[in-house]
Structure 1
Amino acid sequence: MIHKCKKQIFLVIAAAIVLTGCGSKVSTVSDTPGISSDIVSVEDIPDYSGEASVEVNDNEPYFTEEEKENTTSFESYSSLDSLGRWQIMWKRPIIMCCTG
């Protein structure tokens, strides 16, 4: 009797796990407002030449005008755990564009 109950509970839990995962939505970059989804091909990236930096896209950033004009930045931290560490940190830095 106990073995039968355990088996039924296991089947219910397994079914719940399978069914709850079916409706999950995968978020992509294109779903996120303010983030461009331009894709750079691996062939467009030059081979390593021994230099510390390399010019990409003729040294032109991919930022939109809206992204360049947004100068609002923030940092947000969660509460500390028992060891005094933050668990989650959100940061939006100011975008600095350097060209030329």
Structure 2
Amino acid sequence: MAIIYVERFGGFACVGSVHSCIRSHGEINTSTLSLEELEQIENLFNQQTAASRFTTRSDQFKYRLMRQTQNGKIDKIEAKETDLPGKIISCIKDEII
């Protein structure tokens, strides 16, 4: 059982940028994901160098996923919305800051 922390950024309103008034974030327990969803997320973490080089349109959101490994290291990746299971996206809540 692990927790994945998720941040959504970019898009038309530049959510998550230094000057943004909106923060979109959430977390999800991996025990709530199906085996297929877990495999999809694990594949993204295994391809982390490739995942950080994707290109998006200026109005598309990007997602940053973080998790802590068993040895205490923090893994971070960035992914497109189309690469993520719906449960990951639905855990995100917008917060005005």
TM class by shorter chain equals: under 0.3
Q: Identify the structure with the greater helix proportion.
A: 1
What TM-score, normalized by structure 2, do the two folds share?
0.21
* Structure showing greater relative contact order (alpha-carbon pairs closer than 8 Å, 6 or more residues apart): 2
What TM-score, normalized by structure 1, do the two folds share?
0.20
Structure of greater Rg? 1
Q: Identify the structure with the greater strand proportion.
A: 2
